[in-house]
Amino acid sequence: MPEHTAPPRPSSPARHRRRLVAGCAALAASLALAACGTASGALQPQPSTTTAASPPAPSASSPVSPSGTPSPGTPSSGTPSSGSPSSAAPVPGTPSATLPPTGPTTPSAPSTPPAPKPTPPKPGTAGPSTPGPGKSTTATPRPPAPPAPSTGVPTSVVRSTASGGRTVALTFDDGPGPATGQVLDLLAQYHAKATFCLVGKQAAAGPATVRRIVAAGHRLCDHSVDHPQPFAALSHEQAVHQIVDAETAIVRAGGPGTAVGWFRAPGGAFTEDNQRIAADNGLRPLGWSVDPRDWSRPGTAAIVSAVQSQLKPGGVVLLHDGGGDRGQTVAALRQLLPWLAAQGYRFDFPAS
């Protein structure tokens, strides 16, 4: 739900150079990786051997050009597998019921526990100024507690759909990219709605695609300005820049009325700090419960079977429409959409 329409914020005056993406981008280029590594920042070698076909990633030190379209494969999305093996229960009747779960893999970033609530003063323990035992009605200074986000958006990472029940939330990371149009075509064919986690620089480079996403009724998620990794290693100021300026770029690309409801940390590298920054800006941290690791191009059949085996009602599926050649993802989606419909799933958005 577009529960928040954060007021426009000025862009950060300081453009952080993308030093942190250097390692990921260079390695990604060398591996022809479109997507990023895991929450730990480690890139996963992919089975594909088509390394020569990978376009070079832009230099990490190159300035952000408003007209520069990042080459596909640059911003890579790290995808720590969220799925614990025990959570990958097959949907009854699925052809993949005999497939093993895809785990164990890197655990997802833990959710941030709820902000501590101030403890009300207890009688007799309120301090030396308390007039007497059992009387604490006078105002006792409370220790400063982290204020809840004024936006009312929870800081915890959501990994389930808004409606629950037999619903699924499809999410697409690292776009908009060359495959986004095909993904949109397929979603329209099956009357499916999805959530797109956009990279700010690419949104700025492809505003028409962003507008098409919005016009089709899909929803938007902030996936940082330029996908630096490891995202958890960013300073607070860098994280603010990555989150706030990406949202600004996405809204600008989408046009008036564009709302961004979530933030997904590159690589799933959520921290207490970046979750709070997101929530303070009206963005619910968005994780996932199903990770077929499509970014590593494991093969269409592997992507399909991973989703079929991991998905449970209310699940959030992580897929990629950007960050490199997404042909396998598109082909898998072409199979998964009718399968989901046949399984009785309704398409939903993540909880917000």
Active-site residue set:
173, 320
Please tell me the distance from the alpha carbon of residue 165 to that of residue 168, in angstroms, as a whole number: 9
Report helix, strand or coil for 248: helix
The residue within the footprint of Zn ion, chosen from 108, 126, 155, 174 (CB under 5 A), is 174
Residue 152 C-beta: closest distance to Zn ion, Å: 27
Please tell me the distance from the alpha carbon of residue 211 to that of residue 161, in angstroms, as a whole number: 24
Buried b (16+ CB within 10 A) or exposed e, 52-87: eebeebbebeeebeeeebbbbbbbbbbbbbbbeeee
Q: Which is nearer to Zn ion, 91 or 221 (CB)?
A: 221
Q: Based on the shown chain and the rule CB under 5 A, indicate whether residue 77 belongs to the binding site for Zn ion.
A: yes
* Interface segment toward Zn ion; rule CB under 5 A; list 69-77, 122-130, 142-150, 243-251: 69-77
Alpha helices of the chain — where are they, by DSSP H?
A: 19-31, 180-189, 200-205, 207-215, 236-240, 246-254, 272-280, 300-310, 327-342
Residue 227 C-beta: closest distance to Zn ion, Å: 6
Nearest residue to Zn ion by CB is 77
Please tell me the distance from the alpha carbon of residue 277 to that of residue 265, in angstroms, as a whole number: 11
Q: Based on the shown chain and the rule CB under 5 A, indicate whether residue 222 belongs to the binding site for Zn ion.
A: no
Q: Which is nearer to Zn ion, 91 or 306 (CB)?
A: 306
Q: Which helix (H) or strand (E) holds 261?
A: strand 260-263
Q: Based on the shown chain and the rule CB under 5 A, indicate whether residue 173 belongs to the binding site for Zn ion.
A: yes
Q: Based on the shown chain and the rule CB under 5 A, indicate whether residue 275 belongs to the binding site for Zn ion.
A: no
Q: Which is nearer to Zn ion, 31 or 126 (CB)?
A: 31
Q: Which is nearer to Zn ion, 126 or 197 (CB)?
A: 197
One-letter amino acid at 210 equals V
Residue 74 C-beta: closest distance to Zn ion, Å: 11
| Interface residues toward Zn ion, by CB under 5 A | 77, 173-174, 266
